[in-house]
Amino acid sequence: MFHFLIPMNKQNETIENVLHDIYNLILTKGTREWEREQLIIAKDALAQEINVQSELSKLEAKLRPLALRNNLTPDVMDFYLKITGNTVDVQQEAYTRDNDNFAYQERAVFAGGCFWCMVEPFETQAGIVSVLSGYTGGKIEHPTYDQVSSGLSGHVEAVEIIFDQRIISYRDLVELYWQITDPTDAFGQFQDRGNHYHPIIFVQDHQQRQIAEQSKAELAFNYSQPIVTEIRQAETFWPAENYHQAFYKKQPKRYKAIKRARQQLLFYQTIKRKLHG
């Protein structure tokens, strides 16, 4: 259980101070929309003078996954550290104690066209802890969807996958990645065109690089065209806006239409490749 820096025995003063911080974060332009939604929920509860510690515990639990990955926006991270009274490293130790599976979890990042179509294939596999849509590979900090889709930020749309190594391996994920992308298309993926849809495997360490490069070399025997999917060292992963997360669940009809078109193009290219040897 984490401990607050703020004096919980001064209930009225505590509510006033916390609400002040939360209001400022809600109004701050740089606050990510998903973060703002969580802050508004906490604000509304605290405004009704509900137990401060209980509400902050709920807020901390929601912010924790991104805090542990250092992916909260700067001001929200400062607030997170303030209400916990600890560094992220200490929080990660606490999180590890609360989660027996943490030591078996590994991270993978793949870019393969629109991230709307990259979540479901991975998230529905056994052993997947979470799949987050986001941006990586560019030079702008805290990029927005508009900046990335303009093609000028240098980022690509990607998914960050946390998985349990005991159930599914990194090699399994790489093999699935090849099945849902076109490794010969350097200018996008299927109906998604532009540099921000470029296919890239972002590796976390030497072991992942070895697995990805070996798998890529083996894949080349199945294609007459060059494999253009890049293998690059992982960079900062910036979570996308909340409306992009779990898109296939939020917009099932729209997602199915996009997925169907993607699968048809993938099937067509598979048949074409077989016919032309």
Q: How far apart are CA 112 and CA 109, in angstroms?
A: 10
Give the strand pairing for 192-193 and 188-189: antiparallel
The number of residues making up the chain comes to 277
Q: How far apart are CA 126 and CA 3, in angstroms?
A: 35
For residues 175 and 139, is the Cβ–Cβ distance under 8 A? no
Q: How far apart are CA 153 and CA 143, in angstroms?
A: 8
Q: Is 117 a catalytic residue?
A: no
**Catalytic: which of 114, 159, 201, 234?**
114
Q: How far apart are CA 160 and CA 226, in angstroms?
A: 26
CA neighbor of 222 nearest in space, from 259, 179, 265 = 179
Active site residues: 114
